[in-house]
Amino acid sequence: MTDRPAGRRPLPEDQPARGAVDRPMMLELVLLQMQARDRDPACGRETGQLGFMQWLGGLPGGCDYAAAARAALARLGPDAPSSPALATFRALLVASLAVPPRPLGLSLPVPRRRGGTRARRLPH
């Protein structure tokens, strides 16, 4: 037998999800990943779009999206390091807050080989 009390444990009260204001760690993770990538403009655009999709997917259901996007823009601020990925991420945040809303044209990166045996055989 266990020493647990009989019956169900009370569930924590549901808090209204306010967005990224209460979850800054997801935004920090996305920003760190974008800063760690190279500064090639084409790759930066893909990385910025992927970062936006990752940040968007990390928002809790039913959150205030506008407040979350404004909080992300405030976190970026004018003194954020400049890179193509961060510029794309910032542009997507601004475009997503535009009224009337328009499609953002997000796309996944084109699959490509990252190396393997063939890349090791090529002269550097």
What's the pLDDT tens digit per position in 18-35?
A: 444 555 677 888 887 777
Give SS3 for 98: coil
Binning pLDDT at 50, 70 and 90, where does residue 16 land?
Answer: very low
Statement: the pTM of the whole predicted model exceeds 0.75? no
Domain span at residue 86?
A: 24-96
As to burial, measured by CB atoms within 10 angstroms (0-12 exposed, 13-18 middle, 19+ buried), residue 91 is: middle
pLDDT top residue among 15 and 89: 89
The answer to whether residue 8 is domain-embedded is no
Average pLDDT, the chain: 78
Dihedral Cα 66, 68, 71, 73, nearest 10 deg = -70
How far is Cα 104 from Cα 68, in angstroms, rounded to an integer? 17
User: Which SS3 state, helix, strand or coil, does residue 84 take?
Assistant: helix
Residue 29 maps to a domain:
yes
Question: Which residue in this structure is represented by tokens 């084409």?
Answer: 42
**CB neighbour list of residue 116: distance below 8 Å, 6 or more residues apart:** none
Task: Please state the domain count of the chain.
Answer: 1
Residue 93 pLDDT more than 60? yes
Q: Is residue 39 part of a domain?
A: yes
Range 39-53 average pLDDT? 85
> Is residue 37 in some structural domain?
yes
- Domain assignment present for residue 72? The answer is yes
pLDDT tops 80 at residue 123: no
